[in-house]
Amino acid sequence: MALHELFVEPQVSEIARLINWVDAACRADGVPDDTRVKLMLAVEEAVMNVMVHAFAGLPPPHTIKVRLDIAEAFAAEVIDNGHPFDPTSAPTPDLSLPPDQRRPGGLGIHLMRGMMDHIRYRRSDGHNILRLEKTRT
């Protein structure tokens, strides 16, 4: 089992460092390319959502921690101290509507759902904990 952890500053400029870190950890632990890319995209989307939405109106310090747990499954946890938000309860966007008639938002969560096998959320000690899992095949 390989466990990796990275603290990310809540700034968009940190996304490149995050993605490079996920990529390197997955490569080092032998994660298949298709799974590695899906994890990179899902983690990027989750962290961007935190950066854009979770800290609105909250005084610092703002923290974002990402954990990779590469064992029986490939998993990533995004942990933040922002406003409570459970993305697993977000409605599925109506993709049958033209883009100009859709409610804004929700496509990133839809993307994560499509790429991951399991998405779990819990709130603990003032932190959002989002777990993204891809089953080994």
Q: What CATH number has the domain bearing residue 10?
A: 3.30.565.10
Going by C-alpha positions, the residue among 72, 78, 74, 60 that lies closest to residue 18 is 78
pLDDT at 104 over 60: no
Count up the domains in the chain and report the number: 1
Confidence of residue 58 (pLDDT cuts 50, 70, 90): very high
Distance (Å) of CA 130 to CA 28, 32, 124: 23, 22, 11
Q: How much of the chain, in percent, has pLDDT values that exceed 90?
A: 74
pLDDT at 59 over 60: yes
Q: Report the chain's mean pLDDT, rounded to a whole number.
A: 89
Compute, in degrees rounded to 10, the torsion defined by CA atoms 50, 54, 56, 59.
Answer: -100
Which residues span the domain enclosing 96?
2-135
Going by C-alpha positions, the residue among 48, 2, 47 that lies closest to residue 25 is 2
pTM, full prediction = 0.89
